[in-house]
Amino acid sequence: MLYQWHELGRHLMAPWIHQAGANAKLFADPHSWLSTLPGADRLAAGNELMHRLGKDYEKPPWNIHQIEVNGAKVPVIEQEIIATPFCRLLRFKRYTDEAASMAAMKKEPAVLVVAPLSGHHATLLRDTVRTLLQDHKVYVTEWIDARLVPAEAGKFGLDDYIATIEDFIRHIGAENLSVISVCQPTVPVLAAVSLMAARGEATPRSLVMMGGPIDARHSPTKVNDLATKNPLSWFENNVIHTVPAGYPGEGRRVYPGFLQHAGFIAMNPSRHFMSHWDFYADLVKGDLEDADSHRKFYDEYNAVLDMPAEYYLDTISAVFQEFSLPRGTWKIKDELVKPAAIRKTALLTIEGELDDISGAGQTAAAHGLCTGIPKARHQHITVEGAGHYGIFSGRRWREVVYPDVRDFIAKYAA
């Protein structure tokens, strides 16, 4: 019933939230007589803050329409390559009228960016994708909000996630492909490539694994502690709910996005409180640049999706409670996941020194599992001063991390 109560509260508050948004514009608009009233700046700021705290946040657009390559503007279009009920494989395709530049881009390696299915939309990797487009053909997984997937589409578990990654790798072609996994997907990506290698299938040229829980026993964080302190039944009884009427996925069991968002905030409530207070102060002062930065960040941060219950519970069990991958006990439809079977794929792991989601050593543990890869093809980077998001987004990603990723991919490209 929690989901139903949440929806009821959201609908009851909607008129007040929309009115707050309108009030903010009326008190801030210089053409409105209300903006001349004493304290109008504070009234505008307070109403906008209320509006943003209560409004719905839809999936943000990618907004990658062009990039800059060697000082030239290159148009980019978003293409849907494959569509399944739970995921879309997108390609961001670059175009240019210069024949030499187009020929050079066609020779560049392909990269599959596997986005997390852990609360936020794949657009959280917008900066990752935009940067990679400078030197690569880029594909990305865009997971679908489970409340939008009709119940007739069936269940979606961790094994289905792995099968989806395998299908996407086969479709793109592993022969000149590098796979980059960010956070949660490091585990299923390693499983997918391990299974493909064990069957004798072609595997990607390189794997780049960033801030993921390959072995969550290393340097456990608050995220790990929550998963280990409670039995699986606790998660099933407390965080799994049914999508209510009004959505295409009515009747589907999910881990709702609003609960995930509450968990994100609870990890560091004081930081978010101060961020919103600073936003209010910036609006009152007229510091519109900082206020706009706040809007852009929280437009992405507050946009969350529902996860299929089966997938979420499978992940809690296999990754954070049983540690099935590092223990060598993980079976996917009777196939044992053996990372040692990978032989022709180079491996790069990246961790942030200050990562409070995937602790130190959790991602690097992949090297100890992939014993079939020659030592010369192993590489690890710890990014000094970087938190979880800093290794794939922002200035540190663009200026410190990306050059190493680019060079690593190029080294092992066909």
Q: List average pLDDT for each run of 10 residues in the chain, which is 414 residues long.
A: 83 89 87 85 91 89 89 90 97 86 86 94 95 96 96 95 97 95 96 97 97 92 82 93 93 92 82 89 87 88 93 95 96 95 97 90 97 96 92 93 96 87
Q: What integer pLDDT is reported at residue 196 of this predicted model?
A: 97
Q: Which amino acid is at 65?
A: H
The one-letter amino acid code at 40 reads A
CA distance 122 to 184: 12
CA distances from 37 to 23, 32, 139, 200 (A): 13, 10, 52, 74
Per-residue tokens: 203: 């595997």
Distance CA 340, CA 332 (A): 16
Report d(CA 303, CA 52) in Å as an integer. 12
**Domains of the chain by start residue, with CATH:** 2-56+257-301 (no CATH), 66-231+307-412 (3.40.50.1820)
Q: State residue 137's pLDDT score.
A: 95
Residue 141 sits at φ, ψ, to 5 deg, of -85, 135
- Give me the residues paired with residue 352 across strands: 383
pTM of the model: 0.91
Side-chain-facing half-sphere of 55: CA atoms under 13 Å:
17
Per-residue three-class SS string for 281-342: HHHHHCCHHHHHHHHHHHHHHCCECCEEHHHHHHHHHHHHHCCHHHHCCCEECCEECCHHHC
Burial of 404 (0-12, 13-18, 19+ CB in 10 A): middle
